[in-house]
Amino acid sequence: MNNFFVILAAGKSKRFNKKMAKQFYNYKNKEIIDHSIDKSLDSRLFKKIVVVSNNLNHFKKKKYPKIVKIIKGGKERSDSSLNALKYIKQFKPKNVFIHDAARPNFSIKLLEDIIKNLKKNKAVVPIINSKDSIKYKIKNHIFNLNRNNAILTQTPQAFRFKDLFNLAINQKQKINDEATLFINTNHKIKFIRGENKNNKITYLEDINTSKTYFGIGFDLHRLIKNKKLYLGGLKIPFHSGLKGHSDGDVILHAIIDAILGATRKKDIGTYFPNTKKFKNVRSPKMLKPILDNLNKFNFFINNLDINLICEQPKVSKYRDKIINSISNLMGLNKDLINLKGKTVEKLGLIGKEKAIACEVIISITKYD
Ligand code: ZN
């Protein structure tokens, strides 16, 4: 196991549009760089993991195992790569992997595939085919490239140390990856299937910066005679209806409060006070502007869980109809809505069929 893993993280991330260097940006609950460090550690394939960075201070607070070594990078990518090769030369490595920190999504299986192929080859490089059509421009001429013949190289790329070192030390021009050195000097490379998910993070948009929030809602209304009963926007035949300034639909009110909770927008009373304007308003009309706001700000509902607390009517009898109604009102797939009925052992106002209560929890994701 005389393999060394070099992670290049000295880039300035000019295209990333963030004050913070890209490799230190939080992604899937850890810094981008740490995905590569952790995976190379977990693979147990490497004697040493060498991180090349121009911000050594950043690593001072980190606690990596001893086999992780942070060294100073160079001006260009190829300078940083050469720095690492010069550093590890003293350990007489057999194989070296060079990897860009901007690719945090490779799998350990890819590392294992590369190692397997290194047994019979001096250079192993993962590739994928392009999903986009590619044109090639030389001066003012544009050529169509056959997409099937165009290959995209990824990292980690792995090499016999000796061969790579000799090529790297003699390189004259800037290179974007080590495979270029082998290609420019007509050395053979074994290309293996890369991973589509092993994409390179270049722009901030490449990172899914979605955040998920939860909201809780609760409502209770008294039941009174001579009023229609609405639950989840559905009219239900019953001896009483829910008293309130509006139609008293406890389910929709709890949903509204849950949404407002998840988006941190106060409560239903803030938007629908007990004024003349909202006298006898139907609750779907209250829900609509709240949902419009969700869409406007790129929030998406993941799921909705509802507890309807009442002795009567029997929830099981109306469950599908209520879920259908909510699904239609919210434009939300009914598979994402759950409705549970709870009775209260005939206790209190609810138990004596004098009130109905509802609680709702909602999960919402915001996409930037
Ligand atoms: Zn209410």
Spacing, Cα 211 to ligand 1 middle (Å): 29
* Alpha helices per DSSP H over 154-242: 161-169, 178-184
Spacing, Cα 214 to ligand 1 middle (Å): 20
**How many whole angstroms separate alpha carbon 28 and alpha carbon 34?**
10
**How many whole angstroms separate alpha carbon 328 and alpha carbon 307?**
19
Spacing, Cα 315 to ligand 1 middle (Å): 19
- Segment among 24-28, 86-90, 343-347 with least mean pLDDT: 24-28
Each residue's pLDDT tens digit, 107-126: 999 999 999 999 999 999 99
In the structure encoding, which two tokens stand for residue 132, read together?
A: 């986009």
Q: State the average pLDDT over residues 42-65.
A: 95
At 140, which amino acid appears? N
Given this model, what pLDDT does residue 132 score? 86
Spacing, Cα 283 to ligand 1 middle (Å): 9
Mean predicted lDDT score pLDDT of the chain? 93
Spacing, Cα 221 to ligand 1 middle (Å): 6
Bridge partners (DSSP) listed for residue 141: 138
Given this model, what pLDDT does residue 204 score? 77
pLDDT band at 101 (very low <50, low <70, confident <90, very high): very high
pTM: 0.68
Spacing, Cα 217 to ligand 1 middle (Å): 10
Residue 80 near residue 12, CB atoms below 8 Å: no
Spacing, Cα 231 to ligand 1 middle (Å): 11
Each residue's pLDDT tens digit, 204-240: 778 777 889 999 999 999 999 999 999 999 999 999 9
Spacing, Cα 212 to ligand 1 middle (Å): 26
| DSSP-derived 3-state class of residue 40 | helix
Q: State the average pLDDT over residues 2-25.
A: 85
* DSSP letter for each residue of 72-110: E--SSHHHHHHHHHHHHGGG--SEEEEEETT-TT--HHH
User: What H or E segment, with its residue span, contains residue 123?
Assistant: strand 123-129
Spacing, Cα 350 to ligand 1 middle (Å): 15
Spacing, Cα 239 to ligand 1 middle (Å): 19
In the structure encoding, which two tokens stand for residue 160, read together?
A: 């016999």
Residue 138 near residue 68, CB atoms below 8 Å: no
pLDDT band at 280 (very low <50, low <70, confident <90, very high): confident
Spacing, Cα 252 to ligand 1 middle (Å): 8
Q: State the average pLDDT over residues 3-11.
A: 95
Judge whether residue 304 has pLDDT over 70: yes
Each residue's pLDDT tens digit, 56-69: 999 998 999 999 99
Spacing, Cα 269 to ligand 1 middle (Å): 9
Spacing, Cα 118 to ligand 1 middle (Å): 67
pLDDT > 70 fraction of the chain, expressed in percent and rounded: 99
Spacing, Cα 253 to ligand 1 middle (Å): 5
Spacing, Cα 270 to ligand 1 middle (Å): 13
| Structural domains of the chain, ranges and CATH numbers in brackets | 3-206 (3.90.550.10), 211-366 (3.30.1330.50)
pLDDT > 90 fraction of the chain, expressed in percent and rounded: 80
**How many whole angstroms separate alpha carbon 187 and alpha carbon 19?**
40
**How many whole angstroms separate alpha carbon 319 and alpha carbon 287?**
20
Length, in residues, of the chain: 368
Q: State the average pLDDT over residues 132-152.
A: 89
Residue 176 near residue 324, CB atoms below 8 Å: no
